[in-house]
Homo-oligomer: A and B are copies of this chain.
Amino acid sequence: MSRWEPDARGRLERAALELYSERGFEQTTAAQIAERAGLSERTFFRHYADKREVLFGGAQLLEGAFVETLAAVPAAVGPMDAMASTLEALSDFFADRHEFARRRQAVIAANVELQERELIKLATLTAALSTTLRGRGVGEAAASLVAEVGVAVFKVGFERWLRAEGGALSSFLREALLELRVVVGPPPR
């Protein structure tokens, strides 16, 4: 990251998304993305392994933030409430990214290979959350279940937020969590 290329990652990310939206993911090359961003192809490859990865740099950051936030919830808080407050805190991450996230989703939805990569990233996130919960002393099955459920709530809330014209992500996540609790129902007495 040279001083001559301020915010190279962000510029590449925005340029890639523009080109993928205009002409499609398959028809875009790394060289074209670099050119649109006013950077060299070499710089592209210094930041991203391939043209798929440009779309998933944020997912990496998100996973880190997710895990850190969950690990930092006070130990006395139970696993599901810890997950709920983590989802709440993470919403800020997306505060200014509604339009970006919406366009990114459209690019991914149009390409099977990208959909598969997205699935794999979500599975990696789920595994990381499960490990973090186990580190909080949660049993193995409960940790897996809460991690899966947390990611499911995130997906459902996130999709609704993308389709909506306004509103904070956090309120969509809260709504999805409430709906989950209603639909899952209590254990039999």
Main secondary structure of the interface of A (DSSP, over half): helix
Residue pair B176, A180 in contact (C-beta under 8 Å): no
Residue pair B180, A185 in contact (C-beta under 8 Å): no
Whole-angstrom distance between the Cβ of A177 and the nearest chain B Cβ: 9
Q: Copies of this chain, how many?
A: 2
Residue pair B148, A144 in contact (C-beta under 8 Å): no
Residues in B with CB closer than 8 Å to A78 are 183, 185
A141: which of B80, B146, B176, B186 is its contact (CB, 8 Å)?
A: B176
Within 8 A of B (CB), among A132-158: 141-142, 144-146, 148-149, 152-153, 155-156
Interface bin, chain A: 20 to 34
Sample (14) of A-B pairs whose CB atoms are under 8 Å apart: A78-B185, A79-B183, A80-B184, A116-B116, A119-B123, A141-B156, A141-B160, A142-B179, A145-B153, A145-B180, A148-B156, A180-B184, A181-B185, A181-B187
